[in-house]
Amino acid sequence: MHTPSSPARMLARRSFFRVAGAGAAASALVLAGCGKDDPEPTVAGTPTLTLGSFVTTTSSDPNITVLNYAYLLEQIEAAFYDKVVATPPADLQPGELAYLTDLRDHELIHREYLKYALGTSAYDNSLSAPLVFNFSTFTLTTRTGVWTAARQLEEIGVAAYNGAAKYLTSAEHLNALGKIVSVEARHAALAREVLQPGSFADNVGTTGLDDAKTPAQIVALIQPFVPVVISTANLPTT
Amino acid sequence: MYLLKLLAELATTDTTPLEQSAPRRAALESLGRFSAKTLAAALPLGLAALPTQAGTTTILDSLTLALQLERLQEAFYARALAAPAGFFPADATIRASIVTMQRHQQQHITLLTDAITNSGGTAPARPNYDFTGSRNGTQPAFFASVFSNFDDFLRLAQLLEDAGVRAYKGQVEALISNDFILQTALQMHSTEARHAARIRIIRQKRAAVVKPWPSPADASITVAGKTDIVYSGENALEQSVPGYRPVPFRLLPIGSGANILTQGVPEAFDELLNTAQASTLLGLFTY
């Protein structure tokens, strides 16, 4: 295993981002933490978002990769609630729009917190335009459709954080994600309760544990919302 | 990977001298994995003198604290469920939810006890509980009607569930070197957050001013000098990123709602309770 010097790695990553940015319009988008020293962005065909290796030690900081992963998830949630609050379904019950607005605000705050924490390492810094997420699989014209979608997205968030936090090596980042994931779990419980009182923890298993999913499992769930193909090639499997 | 984590930890910790009892060290080693402290203990003398993990909380300490909190909650619900007919309201989903929460806590107790004993540790003896706060009649009660007034019961349930969420959060840093235990603790942690949200929603439907998550807009339910520790620092207006750099929320594109900075930001982050705070809370209801 070769270990380039620190400046060399910095340079590699910086130039890599530039390449990714320049090619973004036509091709490759890459989530930070690329595992290869000489990445070769695809230049044609389907645009691809490559989630970097979480555990590569030579050129990738697992904290950056996990934070970018969380950032992508929070972007999706924020975009969803933004859309719902902008054009809410007509049959919302009293108090529900206020709840959806709170959820929107929390997710915007989470998104911007993570983007700030990532700084120059945020994966979308070099994109020419922000990703536009696709929620066409949801029914957003009814309160049931909206809360069903919210439940699905919040459950994805909880399971994703629970499953990826162990890849962090920074205690400060771990503490920050801990502060966020319990709020997501509260959101998930709310969405469940709106749909069916008493169902706040119906997904909790027989050992009392909430869901935890691997990044590969989560990617399969969020792919329908993301306008580019997410590559799982560099995701951890254990 | 573990080694790298540990080296990263060692590099960022203070110079607190290594102090750890032999039985505890043996117990940790038999977890089959290791903490920064046990690594330091296993290294040659010169290296062992290197900085060790900040504070003195070990994985075993964290599991034991979690066990004590889960036992407290489980006992609380067991007593409520044994209260005379009529204590629970007519809406059957409410009692069913408390049954579910108690079952989760029993499951957590099993998990935590197994983890402690399988690692060679010893689960502490189960204490006595007094949920009125009178410590078995030796001091004035501050929750005298907890098993006769359902809203009082819900207030204490909310306090204990929110505190449980915060207490788990306060321990994750001590678990960072053990992937399996860290993930399991986080899975219990978010289960507790669901409980807290459910209790809060039940209270909200009973006309309490409260949201599913702690909010500066919540009506206070704490008793000064007693349970106010549960929400101590919870309404923090600031968050930081590594290096203790404060996040300038007012400069970020988080919207322009009137209360976004004073209500949205505190709501978006649950804060942690440290070990001493969690132990203080335990002490209010045990004797």
A54: domain CATH number is 1.20.1260.10
> Looking at A37-51, B133-147, B175-189, B213-227, which range is the least confident one?
A37-51
Is A116–B247 a contact, with Cβ atoms under 8 angstroms apart? Answer: yes
Q: What is the mean pLDDT of residues B158-171?
A: 97
Is B242–A169 a contact, with Cβ atoms under 8 angstroms apart? Answer: no
Total number of domains constituting chain B: 1
Q: Tell me what pLDDT residue A6 has.
A: 37
Is B198–A210 a contact, with Cβ atoms under 8 angstroms apart? Answer: no
Q: What is the pTM of this model?
A: 0.83
Residues of B in contact with A158 (CB under 8 A): 190
Helices (H) and strands (E) in chain B, counts: 10, 2
Is B190–A182 a contact, with Cβ atoms under 8 angstroms apart? Answer: yes
Residues of A in contact with B105 (CB under 8 A): 208
Q: Tell me if B57 is assigned to some domain.
A: yes
Which domain covers residue B30, as residue numbers? 3-234+270-284
Going by the DSSP 8-state scheme, the letter that residue B262 receives in this structure is I
Q: Tell me if B83 is assigned to some domain.
A: yes
Q: Tell me what pLDDT residue A19 has.
A: 25
Q: Tell me if A24 is assigned to some domain.
A: no
Give tens-digit pLDDT for B241-270.
988 899 999 999 998 778 999 999 999 999
The answer on pLDDT for B129 being more than 80 is yes
Q: Tell me what pLDDT residue B56 has.
A: 62
Grade residue B190 by pLDDT with cuts at 50, 70 and 90: very high
Q: Tell me if B105 is assigned to some domain.
A: yes
Q: Tell me if B243 is assigned to some domain.
A: no
Grade residue B140 by pLDDT with cuts at 50, 70 and 90: very high
Helix (H) or strand (E) holding A231: strand A229-231
Is A178–B254 a contact, with Cβ atoms under 8 angstroms apart? Answer: no
According to DSSP, the residues that pair with A230 across neighbouring strands are: A49
Residues of B in contact with A57 (CB under 8 A): 4
Q: Tell me if B257 is assigned to some domain.
A: no
Of A175, A207, A210, the CB nearest to B190: A210
Of B101, B257, B269, the CB nearest to A183: B269
d(CA A209, CA A201): 10
3-state class (DSSP) for residue A59: coil
Q: Tell me what pLDDT residue A48 has.
A: 75
Going by the DSSP 8-state scheme, the letter that residue B230 receives in this structure is G
Of A55, A106, A168, the CB nearest to B267: A106
Q: What is the pLDDT along chain A (238 residues), one digit of tens a residue?
A: 343 333 333 333 332 222 233 333 333 345 544 444 444 444 445 677 776 544 444 446 788 888 999 999 999 999 999 999 999 999 999 999 999 999 999 999 999 999 999 998 888 887 778 899 999 999 999 999 999 999 999 999 999 999 999 999 999 999 999 999 999 999 999 999 999 999 999 999 999 999 999 998 999 999 999 998 887 776 665 5
* Placement of tokens 């439940």 in the chain: A151
Which domain covers residue A159, as residue numbers? 40-231
Residues of A in contact with B101 (CB under 8 A): 201
Residues of B in contact with A208 (CB under 8 A): 103-108, 111, 188, 191
Total number of domains constituting chain A: 1
Q: Tell me if A123 is assigned to some domain.
A: yes
3-state class (DSSP) for residue A62: helix
Q: What are φ and ψ of residue B236, in 5° steps?
A: -55, 135
d(CA B21, CA B121): 12
The answer on pLDDT for B93 being more than 80 is yes
Q: Tell me if A118 is assigned to some domain.
A: yes
Quote the percentage of chain B above a pLDDT of 70: 80
Q: Tell me what pLDDT residue A45 has.
A: 53
E-state strands within B151-281: 240-241, 245-246
Q: Tell me if B239 is assigned to some domain.
A: no
The answer on pLDDT for B1 being more than 60 is no
3-state class (DSSP) for residue B241: strand
Give tens-digit pLDDT for B25-50.
445 444 433 344 443 333 333 333 33
Burial class from Cβ neighbours inside 10 Å (0-12, 13-18, 19+) for residue B151 reads: middle
- Mean pLDDT over all residues of chain B? 85
Is B173–A212 a contact, with Cβ atoms under 8 angstroms apart? Answer: no
Q: Tell me what pLDDT residue A130 has.
A: 86
Show Cβ contacts of residue B173 under 8 Å, excluding neighbours closer than 6 positions: A171, A174, A175
Q: Tell me what pLDDT residue A95 has.
A: 95
Which residue in A169, A186, A194, A204 has the most chain B C-beta atoms within 10 A of its own C-beta, making it the best mutation to test that interface?
A186
Closest chain A C-alpha to B234 CA, distance in angstroms: 11
Which residue in A101, A190, A200 has the most chain B C-beta atoms within 10 A of its own C-beta, making it the best mutation to test that interface?
A200
Residues of A in contact with B53 (CB under 8 A): none
Q: Tell me if B151 is assigned to some domain.
A: yes
Is B169–A182 a contact, with Cβ atoms under 8 angstroms apart? Answer: yes
CATH number, domain with residue B183: 1.20.1260.10
Q: Tell me what pLDDT residue A123 has.
A: 85
Is A193–B179 a contact, with Cβ atoms under 8 angstroms apart? Answer: no
